[in-house]
Amino acid sequence: MTSSNDDLAACAGLVQRGDPDRFLATMAAPPAARRALFPLFAMNVEVSRAPWVTQEAMIAEMRLQWWRDALEEIAAGGPVRRHEVVTPLGAVMTPKLAAAMDEHVAVRRWDIYRDPFEDAAHFDRYIDQSAGSLLWAAASMLGAAEERVVRDFGFATGLANWLRAVPELEARGRIPLLDGRPEAVRALAERGLDHLSRARAARGAISPGARPALLSGWQTGVILRQAQQEPARVAQGTLGQSEARKRLTLMARAASGRW
């Protein structure tokens, strides 16, 4: 194997271990798309876990800063550090997009500390800059897409994933929701479904080339509807589908191209 293929395999392995659902979605994409998606999603795995691998806030800050520095190197258009994720990422990400992705890393500082979200705007910004920015980067690396539509879908997907993570976040001493009452959780899920409906109503704004990026949100509608109908499932950690149903749904989405 060439060094490039070695790096791609390493990125795929990181995603498979750290984000298995996104790994399945990426494997359902065309091989050419995977060469862009695996490095990006591997970076997301590393950034997402950086705040959690240490109890020392300063060390966690340094880990996130390492990734911000790596993105700055890509954004500068010059030499990029040798690293199994950064090197292949620099080969597929434009300088402009790398600069925009700084917010995707910076927003993860919330994960380091135990402070609650300040307000609804702060919560929305976290979901958009983490999930929305990631999906926008993925789509724009693959083909033409309207950013507003991608970010609507990204917000819905990020919210669905966030609701699934609530029990673990609470176990780690975080306060993931502004209001955990059933009626508030239901309203939050409904807001996510609104974003999802708005994005799907504008499917034509996403080119065929960019559509594989949105496969990673294939469970979004199911999860948000479960949270809307049975808010208690959020605290119980029972959102989602069985492995068999999940894979069948993904296969159908990939075959139809209708995310």
Q: Which domains, and CATH codes, for the chain?
A: 1-112 (no CATH), 114-259 (1.10.600.10)
- Indicate whether this model's pTM tops 0.75: yes
Separation of alpha carbons 126 and 162, rounded Å: 11
Bridge partners of 145? 206
CA 10 to chain centre: 19
Give 74-111 pLDDT, tens digit per residue. 999 999 999 999 999 999 999 999 999 999 999 999 99
pLDDT at 1: 42
Mean pLDDT computed over 59-63: 97
Give 12-43 pLDDT, tens digit per residue. 999 999 999 999 999 999 999 999 999 999 99
User: Do residues 240 and 163 make contact, with C-beta atoms less than 8 angstroms apart?
Assistant: no
pLDDT at 138: 98
Separation of alpha carbons 168 and 166, rounded Å: 6
In the structure encoding, which two tokens stand for residue 187, read together? 């309203």
Separation of alpha carbons 210 and 245, rounded Å: 25
Torsion on CA atoms 142, 19, 233, 125, rounded to nearest 10: -50
Give 118-138 pLDDT, tens digit per residue. 999 999 999 999 999 999 999
Separation of alpha carbons 105 and 99, rounded Å: 11
Is the sign of the CA dihedral 140, 142, 148, 153 positive or negative?
Answer: negative
Residue 226 has pLDDT above 50, yes or no: yes
User: Do residues 105 and 71 make contact, with C-beta atoms less than 8 angstroms apart?
Assistant: yes
Separation of alpha carbons 168 and 242, rounded Å: 19
Give 197-220 pLDDT, tens digit per residue. 999 999 999 999 999 999 999 999
Mean pLDDT computed over 173-190: 98
Count Cα neighbours of 59 within 13 Å in the Cβ-side half-sphere: 6
